[in-house]
Amino acid sequence: MCLLCVFQFTRVWIPDPEDVWKAAEIVKDYKEGEPVLHLQLEDETPLEYPVGPKSNPLPFLRNPDILVGENDLTALSYLHEPAVLHNLKVRFLEPNHIYTYCGIVLVAINPYDQLDIYGEEVIRAYSGQNMGDMDPHIFAVAEEAYKQMARDERNQSIIVSGESGAGKTVSAKYAMRFFATVGGSANDTNVEEKVLASSPIMEAIGNAKTTRNDNSSRFGKYIQIGFSRHYNIIGANMRTYLLEKSRVVFQAEDERNYHIFYQLCASASLPEFKDLGLTSAEDFTFTSLGQNIFIEGVDDAEDFEKTREAFTLLGIKDVSQSSIFKVVASILHLGNIEICSERDGESCHVSVHDVHLQHFCRLLGVDLPQMEHWLCHRKLVTASETYVKNMSSQQAANARDALAKHIYARMFDWIVEHINNMLQTSSKQHSFIGVLDIYGFETFEINSFEQFCINYANEKLQQQFNSHVFKLEQAEYIKEQIPWTLIDFYDNQPCIDLIEARLGILDLLDEECKVPKGTDQNWAQKLYKQNSSSAHFQKPRMSNTSFIIIHFADKVEYQCEGFLEKNRDTVYEEQINILKASQFQLVADLFHEKSDTAPPAKSSRVNVRSAKPTPKAPNKEHRKTVGHQISYETRPPPENRPQQRSDPQQLLMDTKHTFPVLFPYTPSALSLETLHIPASLCLDFLNRV
């Protein structure tokens, strides 16, 4: 046997700039050291393919035809990028085969098409079956989680991951629907319907149109569905992470603010909303910056009815609902308040006759003259005295935007809290299944602080994945002395260090925020100075106000502009105090609660900080949590969604996102128990301090 020989008729994959990978066949035996490989493409074109020890390795081998289309990638003889792509593609081209296993991982390709594979009869068909006996399906993963919870008495978590638009939220919803159906409550409490009703609400207040996804989740969520001793659903609990607040006051071209704003504007003429003072979303700054208030195929007024029905189903009272809508409307009015610059350029004013100021104050039940004053002034406290300072119109506009974001975020938290109250159970929860739907990796034309946070979170999630599935697995094999080869997985710790280590990106950002005259520019220069230590950092050649991070999934260029402002997120105490004094209980409550634990100082800093992970040795005695499933997804080939992607390489790139490492084996069920996911994925690494 000759390891470095390949023989005639051997079939290979060669890289191709157009098709990404092209199939070819070797037409002449090749021996080590020869400079070319004689190939023939499928259309019979001959090709001399240069090979060399350094630059041009021998091409990847193709799998025998009989294996192609396997429903588990780990069954392939050769598992590499072209093999994975080809196999997924072959399956995807068959009707309804959007799912493929890769060991314990379910890979889904977004079909962007309503498939008839999610009906109740399909749920029934998967219920009680073994994962391996059925076609790969999200229901099979859900069934496996349910079974392991019931049979093995172990709490479970399903992690849905993938880039924006991959179909994570849709998958999470199907998983929840599965649990609601197979774990329907034994009596008529319909708690499972309430659990499902949380989705439209969360989508209305937390989803928005981006250029990648008309229904993009702009927050992360982890829902734990609680089960009784008889494995019926008895309640649920939801945690949310890092709502993208900046969207409330700014949207890039062709993007929208949160759906709820448009839903409410579209329903403004209903009698019960007359006093909100709303008109078309086109008339409000905060809903019109993206230049297009419509989404094709979406009727905002109709969706609003669904949102209200869901609120009602959850048991949120009409008065509370109407308060929520008042808060939503007030934010739109706040954005339209005209801040007039004074001639000196150092100060500004707002007219007491500004109709939007009037609406804002009326809707929130707050004092108008106070608001008018504190929109344009701020208090400065020094050691010896307190005095009032004018704000320039720019400062006042920034402060107003910060206030708008703050109001929205408090309302969002309030709603989550109330949904949780409504889903709470009085009876004892025996076990749970958690579903984590985190925002996917993102790269846009212009990437800012939000993308930085999202991608940082994904970097950490990826690390969890790597370390649990690979490091622990390898350790287990070594300990058990099972013979196997140590695989070389991509460790993204260096990239995480770049972001969170001492003098890393976050550290420097926090430092710059403390410097009185700190600027985004200066921060960028400091970043460049520190760069040399990391292979994951680059300064773009053409810019000195942006930086590049080489993430596990992709290279992303971030614009520094706005990072300091967003990291500081200054909300002025005087404005908050006015809201706290609202004559409406709900509004006052919104701003009181958290202030007890962390008083909003003159600048309530909301920073993304890293908590150092506390590495715990896997301890068999304390495997208290989870066996778990992981579902990873890719996007479809571009022809399925022409307006979204035009780059034929996209599927390749996407599988790079999804397959940064490959599985040469299927991990045993046993070793999966070492995955303590809920604890680590309470995403403690993203703390707000």
Ligand X SMILES: *[C@@H]1O[C@H](CO)[C@@H](O)[C@H](O)[C@H]1NC(C)=O
Cite the annotated binding site by residue number. 162-169
Does the active-site annotation cover 48?
A: no
Does the active-site annotation cover 440?
A: yes
* DSSP one-letter string for 391-404: --HHHHHHHHHHHH
> Rounded to the nearest 5°, which phi and psi values hold at 237?
-145, 140
Between residues 161 and 671, which has the closer beta carbon with respect to Mg ion? 161
Does the active-site annotation cover 33?
A: no
* Active-site annotation holder among 164, 207, 307, 674: 164
| One residue of 45, 386, 532, 646 binding ligand X per CB under 6 A | 532
Burial class of 139 by CB neighbour count within 10 A (0 to 12, 13 to 18, 19+): buried
How far is 588 from 607, CA to CA, in rounded Å?
A: 24
Residue 626 three-state SS = strand
User: What CA dihedral angle connects 62, 63, 64 and 70, to 10 degrees?
Assistant: -140
Nearest distance from residue 411's CB to Mg ion, in Å?
Answer: 20
Nearest distance from residue 258's CB to ligand ADP, in Å?
Answer: 14
Q: What is the residue type of 297?
A: G
| One residue of 40, 190, 392, 538 binding ligand X per CB under 6 A | 538
Q: Which residue has the tokens 């420097």?
A: 508
Nearest distance from residue 93's CB to ligand ADP, in Å?
Answer: 16
Token pair listed for 66: 């009989």
- The residue number with the shortest CB distance to ligand ADP is 167
Site for ligand X in 249-288 (CB under 6 A): none
**Residue 420 near ligand X by CB under 6 A:** no
Of the listed pieces 3-11, 529-537, 578-586, 595-603, which binds ligand X according to CB under 6 A?
529-537
Whole-number CA gyration radius for the chain: 28
What are the residues whose beta carbons fall under 8 Å from the beta carbon of 256, sequence distance 6 or more? 208, 209, 262, 287, 290, 292, 293, 295
Name the binder of 97 from Mg ion, ligand X, ligand ADP, none, CB < 5-8 A by kind: none
CB 40 within 8 A of CB 65: no
Tell me the per-residue interface mask from 183 to 222 with ligand X, x by CB under 6 A, - otherwise.
Answer: --x-x-x----------x--x----------xx-------
Name the binder of 155 from ligand ADP, Mg ion, ligand X, none, CB < 5-8 A by kind: ligand X
Q: What is the residue type of 208?
A: A
Nearest distance from residue 502's CB to ligand X, in Å?
Answer: 18
Name the binder of 170 from ligand ADP, Mg ion, ligand X, none, CB < 5-8 A by kind: ligand ADP
Of the listed pieces 90-98, 164-172, 290-298, 412-420, which binds Mg ion according to CB under 5 A?
164-172
CB 131 within 8 A of CB 148: no
| One residue of 44, 120, 153, 639 binding ligand X per CB under 6 A | 153
Token pair listed for 174: 């199907």
Name the binder of 262 from ligand ADP, ligand X, Mg ion, none, CB < 5-8 A by kind: none
Between residues 12 and 191, which has the closer beta carbon with respect to ligand X? 191
Token pair listed for 187: 């009596």
Between residues 207 and 625, which has the closer beta carbon with respect to ligand ADP? 207
* Active-site annotation holder among 335, 440, 504, 627: 440
Q: Where are the beta strands (DSSP E) in 249-384?
A: 340-341, 348-349, 377-381
Between residues 164 and 467, which has the closer beta carbon with respect to ligand ADP? 164
Q: How many H helices and E strands in the chain?
A: 23, 23
Site for ligand X in 155-174 (CB under 6 A): 155
Between residues 518 and 638, which has the closer beta carbon with respect to ligand ADP? 638
Task: Give the residue numbers of the binding site for ATP.
Answer: 162-169
Between residues 371 and 498, which has the closer beta carbon with respect to ligand X? 498
Signed CA dihedral, 418, 154, 132, 120: sign only: negative
Name the binder of 624 from Mg ion, ligand X, ligand ADP, none, CB < 5-8 A by kind: ligand X
Distances (CA, A) of 193 to 190, 197, 198, 414: 5, 6, 9, 21
**Residue 169 near Mg ion by CB under 5 A:** yes
> Rounded to the nearest 5°, which phi and psi values hold at 356?
-75, -35
* Active-site annotation holder among 442, 450, 459, 500: 442
Token pair listed for 622: 């304390």
Residues within the interface to ligand ADP (CB under 6 A): 110-115, 162, 164-170, 213, 215-217, 440
CB 93 within 8 A of CB 66: no
Does the active-site annotation cover 184?
A: no
Pairing label, strands 626-634, 105-109: parallel
Site for ligand X in 337-356 (CB under 6 A): 342, 344, 347
Between residues 279 and 427, which has the closer beta carbon with respect to ligand X? 427
What are the residues whose beta carbons fall under 8 Å from the beta carbon of 188, sequence distance 6 or more? none
| One residue of 602, 622, 624, 688 binding ligand X per CB under 6 A | 624
* Active-site annotation holder among 165, 277, 365, 627: 165
Q: What is the residue type of 9?
A: F
Does the active-site annotation cover 169?
A: yes
* DSSP one-letter string for 196-214: HHHHHHHHHHHEE--SS-T
Three-state secondary structure string covering 257-294? CEHHHHHHHHCCCCHHHHHHCCCCHHHCHHHHCCCCCC
Does the active-site annotation cover 330?
A: no
* Active-site annotation holder among 155, 169, 199, 466: 169
User: What CA dihedral angle connects 230, 679, 169 and 200, to 10 degrees?
Assistant: 70
C-alpha atoms less than 13 angstroms from C-alpha of 445 in its C-beta half-sphere = 7
How far is 88 from 170, CA to CA, in rounded Å?
A: 20
* Active-site annotation holder among 213, 447, 546, 671: 213
* Active-site annotation holder among 110, 217, 330, 570: 217
Between residues 155 and 169, which has the closer beta carbon with respect to Mg ion? 169
**Residue 240 near ligand X by CB under 6 A:** no
Residue ranges binding Mg ion (CB under 5 A): 168-169, 217
Catalytic annotation, residues: 164-165, 169, 213, 216-217, 440, 442
Contact residues toward ligand X (CB under 6 A) are 153-155, 185, 187, 189, 200, 203, 214-215, 228, 234, 295, 298, 303, 306, 342, 344, 347, 390, 427, 429, 431-432, 525, 528, 531-532, 537-539, 544, 624-625
